[in-house]
Structure 1
Amino acid sequence: MIDLYSRLIRHSGNQNLFRVIEMSVAAIVNERPFHIQAEGPRGTGKTTIMRAARALLPPITRIKDCLYNCHPAVPHCPAHRNLSQEAIAALGVEQVPRPFLEISQAAKLGTVVGSIDLAKLTSPADQLAALLPGTIPQAHRGIIFIDEINRLADTAPELADVLLDVMGTRPGRVQIEEPGLPVAELPVAVSIWAASNPDEDPGPLRRIRKQLSDRFDVAVTMGRPDNFRTVAAILAGQTYETQETEVLSTANLPLSGRLEDIEVSQEVRELLGKIYLEFGLESLRSITAMETAACLTAMLDGRTVAGITDLAQIAPLVLAHRVSPDDLVAIQSYLYKMLYGQDSMVARKKTPPSLKERLFPANFWAAVITRAAALINKRGGLPGKTGKGAAGEQETARIVDPLNTTIVAPPKPAVPLARLPDEQLVTRSRKPHG
């Protein structure tokens, strides 16, 4: 499984998902749930990457045979939470794989939360009315993955309500209720990972269930590969190392760092407070998620202090599903001004790029022109330009830069179809009679 995750191809369209997965794993290792969502067109690898990431999860130590994964130092389940450390030592402990469970579209409330243990209830030797924990309690200290969560939120609102409780606080909580048995309320520390196709029915999660969307600390928008070699490498099932692709070494991931050791200055916290108030953010979860994500970024980079640079880096991931695009750009600009100063040259270079700059980087057309001219000259120059110049040297192709070329508009503006004369809408030529 480790080999599978290591061999997955990274490119500009999915690199943010790899990053937030590693952030979430680092958080849950520190007993801190960190919920992530990946949105994007079908077939871009969201589910494949998330499922393969279970290879990053280190094992856990639990009380022996505990279905709730009770930590020996802080037991929480009904069977163990009142036991002394001596009694827990007598039961023994064991190391097991960290849970990575899934909730399917066909899941029922009882299988997700918990229900009566029918095996014990119908045992001929010792009939006992007892609870059987569902997927969420059994995933304590691990991960739950939900594919197409936008559909689940639309078709199973009762499950969405459960997720609201699980993701609303840290740790979250579930409540198991069965007739004839006392109500069992359990704390659960579990990270929710989800994937969705917002361009298909029923649409983006934030439009279906805004409260649930807000529970996700970060949301990543997946994109397609932008390099044909990347696509070829994906088809071949191999790694391909270029500037566009990067191979991860799972052994070098600093997932064992201590999140509590990452320092957040008072200046950063006051800045988060200003962003919350000045930009009218609806939920305090947004700035809480920004602080946590900044700390995780610093930890994964091997640093002990989270600063404004980290906030600027993670702001789009934390806020894109919570605020409008205009507000997101304004917040990013605000952070860059805090970093570099409003009037500094660096600030102007660091402000979010325009659409033209994103589509055509500064060296894009220069590279295209240089390459095209080289190919044309290699093939003998431009058509009809095979002679020599005035100096007796072979002429070389010259290609203008389209970004620095003045385009003259046509003398007459375009006319809407509705205002065209009928005879200009359709034309045809008459064939001569023969």
Structure 2
Amino acid sequence: MSIPYPFSALVGQEELRLALALNAVSPAVGGVLVRGEKGTAKSTAVRALSALLPEVAVVPGCRFSCDPAAPDPACPDGPHPVGAHGAGESAASRPARLVELPVGASEDRLVGALDIERALADGVKAFEPGLLADAHRGVLYVDEVNLLHDHLVDLLLDAAAMGASYVEREGVSVRHAARFLLVGTMNPEEGELRPQLLDRFGLTVEVAASRETDERVEVVRRRLAYDADPAAFTARWAGEEEALRQRIAAARRLLPDVRLGDAALRQIAATCAAFEVDGMRADIVMARTATALAAWAGRTVVLAEDVRQAALLALPHRRRRNPFDAPGLDEDRLDETLEREAGSDEGDEGGEGGGGREGDDGEEDPDPDGPGGGGAPPQDAGPGQDGADGADGGDDRSGDAAHPGAGPGSGPAPAPGQDSPGGPEGGPAGGERPAAAATEPYRTRALSVPGLGEGAAGRRSRARTAHGRTTGDRRPEGALTALHLTATIRAAAPHQRARGRSGPGLVVRRDDLRQAVREGREGNLVLFVVDASGSMAARQRMGAVKGAVLSLLLDAYQRRDKVGLITFRGATAELALPPTSSVDTGAARLASLPTGGRTPLAAGLLKAHEVLRVERLRDPARRPLLVVVTDGRATGGAEPVALAARAARLLAAAGTAAVVVDCESGPVRLGLAAALAEELGGVAVTPGELRADTVSALVKDVRRAA
């Protein structure tokens, strides 16, 4: 078994260490989400924390780690009487577990599995515990939580909120306790969590690599020393580790005695109201965090500085309204709110910024760093960080972020076949133009890939999935995960007499079991091919075009798609955004997109063909949806129009579903984009037809006419 890197040896990352320590003191805080770039010690810090947690006493032989002093009355391995270990016999004790949930885990691995065959044939609950049972009274760590399937995240966070896991299968029910410290890490470049899931994490921390040379040197020095001899390195930090372990235990004992006064409570409520945080969960998390901060500092009274630190940890991720908003908190506004709501009780404890250095008995707080010290011994915790890191159709919630956007630009258009003023292709000698600002995003109509797929769970196109409506049955391949009860009974019924059935029970054999076939929705790869040439800029349409693409990116985020962005202008096409789940990165690349030059439409389509070919090898189950945003013009080179048509037919031959957003405007329309859509075997829509409210209005008009 590998030796974890010592928590106290981490360099810098004070806020990360503090958030983890607070959750160790008070698991009711609700866990922590660690966001940051790769190589910033996210996984290292989480794995190091588990070594600091106090040992837990468990009922001997209980697979669900029941506490002998207060066993779970509904434990599947129970009942366990209080003091189940018996007089004179010590309860079993073990270190608190760190349980890691893999991104590709199944639902049965997470919550546990029922033996459906024994349940039907023998009427017994044969239950194999899952990772939630293993993590009870320990730490459940999810690396790359943003890549976890939505239904697993829902199960995980529901268990964390209720402190129990429920398994319901075909009338058979099992419940067991599942209270754990939930920690998730993620790289925002690989995609965001939904806002409603972000809200379920108590605290969030942003981490980044230090830019200071001395700090980075210390990171490398300590990491090399650890890699060379983990045992010796850990031994050198044993004293600091024990001090932290004792401090966590002392804070846990002090926590019930900490008083949250009315003044602090009013500051918490006023802060959440001032920052317009949805719901009441933020207020509760802030109260618990401020209480844990006071206990961590060795105090029994919550001070204003505790409330301020709690706000910085609990509110930034709850203020995001859409995936393009950056998390954060205006600290000046926070200070103004706290000062306005400051109560007289705070002055009795030394005032804001002064009480955090003294305990109730007037002695100096043993932690020179105060609540923000992060838990590491100040003499050794240098700044910086450890360099090791561990190896949906939309739900129609876009109303939070969507605002009515402007339609296509209405600037004067030149006559057909005539270049705009200022030179060919809309600029001086076809040169580059500054990036145009996008219009506000809006809610788009649903675009989907035809047919029935089997890709990653999402919310765009029809697919065979593990969750959804039941459409049929089949013989199971491997373990049975979704029983089709009616089909199973139908398969077993003709054989009951031959099997010697004599009682009311149904005699079921393995060959009788039937797996339910379900249809749901999958996420797709939405590849945008955007015309950034002068022919688009000349008509002052690029702002509206960017607004349309931004709206489609928002729709892709809600539908759990991967996205990619190709732009073409001048003489070539560029892969501006390789396929990723991070739509906010796509929005950033789109915002800085310059325009100008000729229109190499064929190059853009050929680039799309190559990108999709590679992606089919990487992820063959994820079907692509090609979205080409252009006016249909093709210039540059010999026979540009014919070459573009051949490139389009190449994509169509590969079976790529395509949509062409026709950006042509003006009194005379050439229909070039529509012709391109026909060559692609897809459909053409105008930016106005993308808007969901346009489709809704059309449906209402049809109903009214009927």
Residue identity opposite 2:173 in structure 1: V
Q: Offset at 1:92? A: 6.3
Q: In the alignment, which residue of structure 1 is the partner of 2:161?
A: 168
Q: Deviation per CA, 1:61-91, whole angstroms, max 9, x where unpaired?
A: 0100211110112211534554433655279
Q: Offset at 1:214? A: 0.4
Residue identity opposite 1:108 in structure 2: S
Between 1 and 2, higher relative CO (CA 8 Å, sep ≥ 6) is seen in 1
Pick the aligned partner of 2:216 from 208, 218, 231: 231
Pick the aligned partner of 1:261 from 257, 260, 271: 257
Residue identity opposite 1:85 in structure 2: V
Question: Is the CA contact (8 Å cut-off) linking 2:290 and 2:307 kept in structure 1?
Answer: yes
Q: Deviation per CA, 1:14-45, whole angstroms, max 9, x where unpaired?
A: 221111111111124xxx46310100111111
Q: In the alignment, which residue of structure 2 is the partner of 1:431?
A: none
Aligned-partner Cα distance in 2 for 1:424–1:33: 56
Q: Deviation per CA, 1:277-304, whole angstroms, max 9, x where unpaired?
A: 4443202111111111111111111111
Compared CA separation, residues 328 and 177, structure 1 to 2 (3 A): farther
User: Given the alignment of the two structures, is residue 301 of structure 1 paired with residue 297 of structure 2, yes or no?
Assistant: yes
Question: Is the CA contact (8 Å cut-off) linking 2:5 and 2:44 kept in structure 1?
Answer: no
User: Given the alignment of the two structures, is residue 217 of structure 1 paired with residue 202 of structure 2, yes or no?
Assistant: yes
Compared CA separation, residues 328 and 217, structure 1 to 2 (3 A): farther
Larger mean CA deviation between 2-11 and 159-168 belongs to 2-11
Q: In the alignment, which residue of structure 1 is the partner of 2:10?
A: 9
Q: In the alignment, which residue of structure 2 is the partner of 1:335?
A: 338
Aligned-partner Cα distance in 2 for 1:189–1:282: 25
Q: Deviation per CA, 1:129-163, whole angstroms, max 9, x where unpaired?
A: 521111012211111000000111xxx12201202
Residue identity opposite 1:176 in structure 2: V
Q: In the alignment, which residue of structure 2 is the partner of 1:204?
A: 192
Larger mean CA deviation between 156-165 and 101-110 belongs to 156-165
Compared CA separation, residues 86 and 48, structure 1 to 2 (3 A): closer
Pick the aligned partner of 2:60 from 44, 51, 64: 64
Q: In the alignment, which residue of structure 2 is the partner of 1:249?
A: 240
Question: Is the CA contact (8 Å cut-off) linking 1:115 and 1:178 kept in structure 2?
Answer: no
Q: In the alignment, which residue of structure 2 is the partner of 1:27?
A: 26
Question: Is the CA contact (8 Å cut-off) linking 2:263 and 2:341 kept in structure 1?
Answer: no
Pick the aligned partner of 1:104 from 102, 105, 116: 102
Q: Deviation per CA, 1:211-246, whole angstroms, max 9, x where unpaired?
A: 221011110000111321221222222699xxxxxx
Aligned-partner Cα distance in 2 for 1:132–1:420: 68
Question: Is the CA contact (8 Å cut-off) linking 2:270 and 2:337 kept in structure 1?
Answer: no
Compared CA separation, residues 139 and 3, structure 1 to 2 (3 A): closer
User: Given the alignment of the two structures, is residue 159 of structure 1 paired with residue 159 of structure 2, yes or no?
Assistant: no
Compared CA separation, residues 115 and 307, structure 1 to 2 (3 A): same
Question: Is the CA contact (8 Å cut-off) linking 1:9 and 1:230 kept in structure 2?
Answer: no
Compared CA separation, residues 64 and 267, structure 1 to 2 (3 A): same
- Secondary structure at the aligned position of 1:313 is classed as helix
Q: Deviation per CA, 1:255-289, whole angstroms, max 9, x where unpaired?
A: 11222111110121123233344443202111111
For structure 2, the 5+ residue unaligned runs are 226-236, 321-327, 345-350, 353-422, 433-706
Question: Is the CA contact (8 Å cut-off) linking 2:38 and 2:187 kept in structure 1?
Answer: yes
User: Given the alignment of the two structures, is residue 138 of structure 1 paired with residue 114 of structure 2, yes or no?
Assistant: no
Q: In the alignment, which residue of structure 2 is the partner of 1:48?
A: 44
Compared CA separation, residues 99 and 277, structure 1 to 2 (3 A): same
Question: Is the CA contact (8 Å cut-off) linking 2:10 and 2:45 kept in structure 1?
Answer: no
Q: Offset at 1:106? A: 1.3
Aligned-partner Cα distance in 2 for 1:424–1:159: 50
Residue identity opposite 1:185 in structure 2: R
Pick the aligned partner of 1:185 from 161, 164, 175: 175
Q: Deviation per CA, 1:84-114, whole angstroms, max 9, x where unpaired?
A: 3365527962001112101001101001001
Residue identity opposite 2:5 in structure 1: L
Measured on the aligned residues, the alpha-carbon RMSD in Å equals 3.7
- Secondary structure at the aligned position of 1:225 is classed as coil
**Which has the larger strand fraction?**
2
Question: Is the CA contact (8 Å cut-off) linking 1:9 and 1:233 kept in structure 2?
Answer: no
Compared CA separation, residues 116 and 174, structure 1 to 2 (3 A): same
Aligned-partner Cα distance in 1 for 2:203–2:283: 11
Aligned-partner Cα distance in 1 for 2:76–2:4: 38
Residue identity opposite 1:16 in structure 2: E
Q: In the alignment, which residue of structure 1 is the partner of 2:668?
A: none
Q: TM-score, normalised by structure 2?
A: 0.42
Larger mean CA deviation between 220-229 and 85-94 belongs to 85-94
- Secondary structure at the aligned position of 2:188 is classed as coil
Compared CA separation, residues 338 and 249, structure 1 to 2 (3 A): farther
Q: How many residues align?
A: 327
Aligned-partner Cα distance in 1 for 2:430–2:160: 65
Aligned-partner Cα distance in 2 for 1:326–1:21: 20
